[in-house]
Structure 1
Amino acid sequence: MISHPKACELTQAVAGWIEQIRPGLDPRNAFLARVAANALAAVTRELQQGPQAKAAAARRLGEVLGRVGSYEDLTQDLCARLAAGEMDAATPGLLAALKANALDQLAIDQPTYRHEGLLSPDTSVRGERAGLRGGWASRRAHPGRHDPRTT
């Protein structure tokens, strides 16, 4: 049996090499090297976590739709049912399944993202309280900013 590096090992090796040479690069190329290393990290996460996330998403959609099928087939069926008005936000289990699918994909695409609903109010994110990271809560905490609810 021939043993060869797996795709994840290759992407990690190239990202590691980029990080080794990056400090000696001029600022523009150092930035581009960081972008390339981040892209390789995203590919690595997709290779490692993607198949399980896709299988879990298919299982969740199958439960909502009441049938089994591939992720692509179930997604197409869900879209058709939503467009036809056969399903909507009130469909039991739909929003929970879509939220879980989105959070699984975010874990791959943006692993440092933390949904505010998953954090306790006193959890610190980049030195700020989780509830004050943006949106209307941030404007409420910073009265000088425009609050669309008051206009």
Structure 2
Amino acid sequence: SLSRFDNLTSLDVEVRRSGWKGLHTILTATYNLRTCILTKGDWFDVNDHALGWLETENVPHCLSERVTKIKMKAFTDGKDDVRLVEYFLWHSKVLDKFRYHCHGSVQGARLQTLCRKILNFRIQSPTVNIRVTRETLN
């Protein structure tokens, strides 16, 4: 069992491969988390059951009661990435800012479609400001 990190209020992490599997556990252990910044490190299916994000019925307390800012960097318009956005927006009840910085390969019509999709998700927080941008390719 993972220890609780009650003093942790900000998390900025690049998640790679098997790290996705532990993200839910980390969020559950960070009861007072207010800011969550996630960077997608490797390009793979984040919902791959062997490696990826696992949705459970137990929503981390920090999402439903504490997190006011979420930033996701280097994600795409892929089905599984967008599903993670939907999860965060639905379960984050006090969210003020949500930023989705897409990988530079997402542009033009794909970026517009992604923006529309995200803005049409059911959202719990009545005050959230959502912004979707594209990272510049280096």
TM-score interval (norm. to shorter): under 0.3
Q: TM-score, normalised by structure 2?
A: 0.21
Bigger relative contact order, structure 1 or 2 (CA pairs below 8 A, ≥6 apart):
2
Structure (1/2) with the larger helix percentage: 1
Given the two structures, how large is their TM-score scaled by the length of structure 1?
A: 0.19
Pick the structure with more strand per residue.
2
